[in-house]
């Protein structure tokens, strides 16, 4: 019996060309890209706008493209952090509390994340909510292996 793939990748699009971004997606061999951004339509997103990814991801990578807004921080929480009204630690605590209030632990299964990629905008994973989410998911599903696509 073949062991199922329980890898969960993360990626940010900032600082990457479209070629780099889609190459990383393809090389991962993941089956779905899960968009966890609250702002998916901004012109600043360039090639990574939701309307473009709906078309490009299946065409270029043969992956499913899924939006999971319930895994994104609220606009107010994200704005507070970006405006430096709150520090990273406070943002992280509030975001993880938000996830628990939204019953993320009970709403998803391991299969919802296995062999998937979490998409956000931040270039580096260290101070991005995709890493906070990945850590919460590891607590729930210890067999997940997190791999940051950089």
pLDDT per position as a tens digit, 20-73: 999 999 999 999 999 999 999 887 778 999 999 999 999 999 999 999 999 999
Percentage, residues of the chain above pLDDT 70: 95
DSSP class per residue in 95-111: HHHHHHHTTHHHH--GG
38 within some domain? yes
pLDDT per position as a tens digit, 71-89: 999 999 999 999 999 999 9
Burial code (b: 16+ CB inside 10 Å, e: under 16) for 74-108 equals: eeebbebbeeeebeeeebbebbbebbeeeebeeeb
Q: pLDDT confidence of 5, banded at 50, 70, 90?
A: low
2 within some domain? no
125 within some domain? yes
Domain count, the chain: 1
119 within some domain? yes
Q: What pTM did the predictor assign?
A: 0.92
The domain of 100 spans 7-149
Q: State the average pLDDT over residues 108-119.
A: 95
At 2 the pLDDT is 45
For the cut 70, the answer to whether the pLDDT of residue 130 exceeds it is yes
101 within some domain? yes
CATH number reported for the structural domain that contains residue 14 in this entry = 3.40.1010
DSSP character at residue 2: P
At 4 the pLDDT is 52
72 within some domain? yes
């Amino acid at each position: 019996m073949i062991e199922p793939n329980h890898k969960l990748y993360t990626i940010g699009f900032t600082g990457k060309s479209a070629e780099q971004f889609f190459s990383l997606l393809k090389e991962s061999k993941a089956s779905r890209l899960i968009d966890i951004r609250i702002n998916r339509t901004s012109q600043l997103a360039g090639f990574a706008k939701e309307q473009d990814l709906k078309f490009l991801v299946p065409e270029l990578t043969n992956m499913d493209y899924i939006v999971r807004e319930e895994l994104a921080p609220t606009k107010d929480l994200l704005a507070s952090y970006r405006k430096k009204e709150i520090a990273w630690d406070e943002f992280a605590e509030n975001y993880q509390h938000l996830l628990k209030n939204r019953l993320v632990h009970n709403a998803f299964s391991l299969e919802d994340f296995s062999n998937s990629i979490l998409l956000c905008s931040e270039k580096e994973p260290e101070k991005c909510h995709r890493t906070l989410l990945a850590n919460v998911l590891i607590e729930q599903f210890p067999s997940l292996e997190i791999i940051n696509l950089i």
